[in-house]
């Protein structure tokens, strides 16, 4: 569990980037690079919240915002749900494709929330062909891409759980590295404890591996559950995010073949916080109408679900803000 926090994450120099590019693509080399890169081992805290404590009934939104091309519009789109907590995945910070912006910070400012941001990947290039169409610069100022939690109350405690230290997208000996998308890092989760009227509650924003099978995601989720239990013992927990369920088995993308659902239930978690329906759609970056999947979920423990739903990722003009719809639920602690 990483608990170091900073107001600003230290950048990677051009010389350090070159060293990463020249490093052998092995698990051992990736582990060393990851340990030696300060920004990969810290959480950035910023923004300002507008409340001191959450009510008994709390609304939480989880949204893979696909780089977050439009931070202010994405924040405004959440107004119909009015979440107290927002769990984000795939947010950029200093990437050319999103105007070098800190998209988490921009969303937090628009919503008057505090944020905790962690780096999933340090990207060493500009992205795929559809992403490059949005690039005005031929470089990234920082190259950060990660997960975040936004909160309308100050965090009592935050942490980051790295679910991949071996470099699934970096090391050739994992059998999954993509030479077209060079990057340092791996899947992870941001965890936070927030105060509520009924006591502290733990919220988790996570993103599991897409470029792997069910067994790989099972192992990641098992590690996540173990670390969260240590981080937040004896309190309600809500985990939300893009679990990439069924992403490895086209054309049907059958999420029911995943074993992580039973794993969580065996440890006292329920999936009843997730609304019915698929959660992906064609977008500006991912224009694939045949890829309809249910990837986004909530798992809760010690909580009761009051209501739940899907927020389509289409703005007022029908423009897709992401290739994922937003999932949301309103929860209260069990008495």
Which domains, ranges and CATH numbers included, belong to the chain? 13-333 (3.60.10.10)
Low-confidence ranges of the chain (pLDDT < 50): none
Residue 176: the pLDDT is 64
Per the omega criterion (within 30 degrees of 0), is the bond before 175 cis? no
Match 């659902």 to its residue by tokens: 261
Residue 241: the pLDDT is 98
Q: Model-level pTM?
A: 0.97
Residue 288: the pLDDT is 82
Residue 195: the pLDDT is 96
Residue 249: the pLDDT is 74
């Amino acid at each position: 569990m990483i608990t170091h926090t900073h107001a600003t994450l230290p950048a990677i120099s051009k010389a350090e980037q070159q060293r990463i590019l020249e490093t052998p693509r092995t698990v051992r080399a990736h582990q060393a690079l990851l340990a030696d890169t300060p920004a990969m081992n810290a959480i950035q805290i910023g923004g300002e919240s507008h409340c001191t404590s959450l009510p008994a009934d709390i609304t939480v939104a989880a949204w893979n915002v696909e780089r977050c091309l439009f931070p202010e519009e994405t924040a405004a789109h959440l107004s119909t749900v009015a979440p107290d907590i927002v769990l984000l995945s795939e947010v950029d910070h200093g990437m050319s494709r999103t105007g070098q912006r800190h998209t988490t910070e921009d969303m937090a400012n628009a919503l008057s929330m505090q944020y905790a941001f962690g780096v999933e990947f340090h990207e060493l290039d500009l992205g795929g062909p559809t992403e490059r169409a949005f690039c005005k610069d031929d470089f990234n100022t920082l190259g950060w891409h990660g997960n975040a939690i936004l909160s309308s109350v100050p965090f009592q405690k935050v942490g980051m759980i790295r679910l991949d230290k071996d470099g699934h997208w970096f090391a050739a000996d994992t059998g999954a590295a993509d030479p077209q998308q060079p990057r340092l890092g791996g899947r992870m989760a941001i965890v936070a404890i927030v105060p509520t009227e009924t006591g502290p509650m733990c919220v988790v924003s996570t993103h599991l591996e897409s470029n792997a099978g069910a067994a790989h995601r099972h192992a990641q989720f098992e590690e996540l559950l173990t670390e969260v239990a240590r981080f937040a013992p004896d309190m309600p927990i809500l985990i939300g995010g893009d679990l990439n369920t069924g992403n490895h088995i086209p054309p049907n993308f059958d999420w029911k073949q995943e074993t992580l659902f039973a794993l969580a239930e065996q440890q006292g978690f329920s999936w009843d916080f997730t609304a019915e329906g698929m959660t992906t759609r064609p977008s500006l970056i991912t224009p694939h109408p045949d890829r309809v999947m249910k990837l986004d979920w909530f798992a809760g423990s010690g909580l009761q679900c009051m209501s739940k739903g899907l927020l389509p990722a289409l703005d007022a003009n029908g423009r897709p803000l992401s290739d994922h719809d937003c999932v949301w639920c309103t929860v209260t602690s069990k008495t």
